Amino acid sequence: MYQKTFGYRAFSVFNYVLLSLAGLLCIIPIIHILAISFSASAPANAHLVGMWPVDFNTESYTKTMNNPNFLRAFWISIGRTALGASITLAVITLGGYALSKDNTAFKARSRYAWYFVFTMWFSGGIVPLYIVIRNLHMMNTIWALVLPGSVAVFNMILLMNFFRATPKELEEAAFIDGAGHFSILFRVYLPLAMPAIATMSLFTIVGNWNAWFDALLYINDYRNYPLATFLQTVIVQQDFSKLNPDVNELKNISQRTVKAAQIFIGMLPVLVVYPFLQRFFVKGIVLGAVKE
């Protein structure tokens, strides 16, 4: 029977301690924000709130959920995330499938592969991209937020490697039965690629939900901001005029508790989605990273 050495046990203890500390560093700020959001105005402003609410109340959430600007930004973010994730997954799936073929089946494969990789290394910059968006008349539209990042080359390469690792006998059998490329992709490859697809979905959803800078560039009306940009404007720039038409009403509670409530509500969609997709995370990354 294999005996665990002292070095192995020490390394395991070190790993558990290190990962526990890393987990606490991630969880403690969330708990602190949650405690502030449920606290009264005076202790929150006096920085007396730790890991537990002081003078528990839900007034900050009531004000937040009754704020039309916040709710509008929330629904815009949901629409942006759903549309952006759908377009990105469609593009990287079709691109990854095409690039997974060898040069005999797709003669221009190498040229297209290098073209996509080149865009990972070099970028035209913000100003040329802004000019392109403006000339295409996409300013102040949701397309300016979802189309520029729809071709996620890194994720496409992961899917390409996943498809290349799939046994070719499955594809050959489907061809013999009369299936075309679309039938093979949707009936053979995609069912096998669900761990990788779920992983790419997680990357894409989180990326779209947390993106804020592009809306500052392409959206001129703050009422059309997605939630991340709305929170950045309110919290970082301290522009509380966007919180509610009646700003004086907010003085009865605390701007700090309202901000904490908005931040936590902004976290919720990702916190809800992640547990359903995280079981595919490691498997999808490992399978997509293996190259034969």
**Each residue of 270-290: pLDDT tens digit?**
888 777 766 666 555 555 444
pTM: 0.77
Domain contains 20: no
E strands, the chain, are none
Domain contains 48: no
Question: Which stretches within 136-218 are classed as H helix?
Answer: 143-146, 153-165, 168-176, 181-184, 190-192, 194-210, 213-218
Full residue range of the structural domain in which residue 150 is found: 62-289
Identity of the amino acid at 134 = R
Three-class DSSP category at 1:
coil
Domain contains 49: no
What letter would DSSP give residue 278? G
Residue 29 has pLDDT above 60, yes or no: yes
pLDDT of amino acid 261: 87
Residues 6+ apart with CB under 8 A from 154: 120
For residue 18, what are its two tokens?
């290190």
Task: Specify the CATH number for the domain of residue 221.
Answer: 1.10.3720.10
Domain contains 27: no
pLDDT of amino acid 90: 93
Q: Average of pLDDT values for 112-135? A: 88
Domain contains 239: yes
**Radius of gyration in angstroms for the set of CA atoms belonging to the chain, rounded to a whole number:** 24
pLDDT of amino acid 158: 86
Distances (CA, A) of 101 to 106, 107, 110, 173, 177: 6, 9, 10, 16, 19
Q: Average of pLDDT values for 86-108? A: 88
pLDDT of amino acid 245: 46
Residues 127 and 61 sit within 8 Å (Cβ to Cβ): no
Q: Average of pLDDT values for 82-106? A: 90
- Overall number of domains in the chain: 1
Domain contains 32: no
pLDDT of amino acid 101: 87
pLDDT of amino acid 17: 94
Domain contains 216: yes
Residues 6+ apart with CB under 8 A from 153: 116, 117, 119, 120
Domain contains 5: no
* pLDDT one-digit tens code per residue, 162-217: 888 888 888 888 888 888 888 888 888 888 888 888 888 888 988 899 898 999 99
